[in-house]
Amino acid sequence: MALRIIGAGVGRTGTESLKLALERLLGGRCYHMLEVLSHPESVTHWASAGCGQMPDWDHVFDGYVAAVDWPVAAYWPELSAAFLDAPVILSTRASAEEWYRSASQTIFAIDPSKMPGAGDPGFLEGMFGRFTFELNNPEAAMEAYQTHNRKVRESIDPERLVEWQPGDGWAPLSKALGVPEPDEPFPHVNTTEMFRQRLAEWGLTGSEADHQM
C-alpha cells in the first residue's frame, strides 16, 4: 500500500487534527509521532535514516495511507521522491511566533532522555539535525521553521503542494485527494493544555513542566 499523502509540516502545526482528518477522508491509518510512541521498535527505521541509511519506506509505512508530523516531516525530500503520486501537504501556523509559542510549551518540553530511541542518537539527530538543535533559542528555532517551510515550497511542484493551516478545515484536503468533503465538523484536537497533560501521563517530562530539550 503506497502512501496517498505526505505531510511535510513539522510538529505543532495541527498535525494530530490533520491525522484524524486524513484517516476520515482516506479510510485508513495515518502515521504520526504517536505511532512511534505506540511502537517504539519502529525507532530503528528512523535511527537508520538519521545515520544516512534510508529504510525500505514501503515497509515502514505498511498498513498506512498517509503520514504526517515528525519524524516524517524531517524526511520529506526522500518520501516525496519515494511516493511520486502522493500530494505533499505543508501544514503551518499563522506565524513563526505562534508556532514557537506552542512548540516551546509542548514538544520542546519533552525530556529527551525519555524519548523513544533515547539510547540511539540517530533518531533525534536525524530529525533535529535537519531542523535545529537550538530548540531553546526562539530566534534559531523560528528561523529553522521558516527555512524548512521555504525549502518545501521551493522544492515541491506547486501543483503537487497543498498548503494547509488548522483553520482551513476539510476543503483543501478534500480537493487535493479528490474525495467528497465530509458533512461533519473538522476534528480539532491536541491543544497545548491537552498535550501537556498527555506528557505528564506518559512520564515524558522532567521534574518541571517547562523542562526543555
How many Cα atoms sit within 13 Å of 194 on the Cβ side?
A: 8
Structure-model confidence comparison of residues 7 and 112, the more confident one: 7
- Residue indicated by cell numbers 482516506: 26
- Is this prediction's pTM over 0.85? yes
Domains located in the chain, CATH noted: 5-202 (3.40.50.300)
In this predicted model, what pLDDT tens digit does every residue of 29-39 receive, in sequence order? 999 998 988 88
Residues 162/90, Cβ–Cβ less than 8 Å: yes
**Which grid coordinates belong to 210?**
517547562
Mean pLDDT of the chain: 88
CA dist., res. 203 & res. 10, Å (int): 23
CA dist., res. 117 & res. 190, Å (int): 23
Bridge partners of 3, per DSSP, are: none
Residues 1/63, Cβ–Cβ less than 8 Å: yes
The beta-carbon contacts of 188-196 under 8 Å, at least 24 apart in sequence, are 188/17, 189/16, 189/17, 189/20, 190/16, 190/17, 192/102, 192/105, 192/106, 195/105, 195/106, 195/107, 196/105, 196/106, 196/109
In this predicted model, what pLDDT tens digit does every residue of 42-101 receive, in sequence order? 999 999 999 999 999 999 999 999 999 999 999 999 999 999 999 999 999 999 999 999
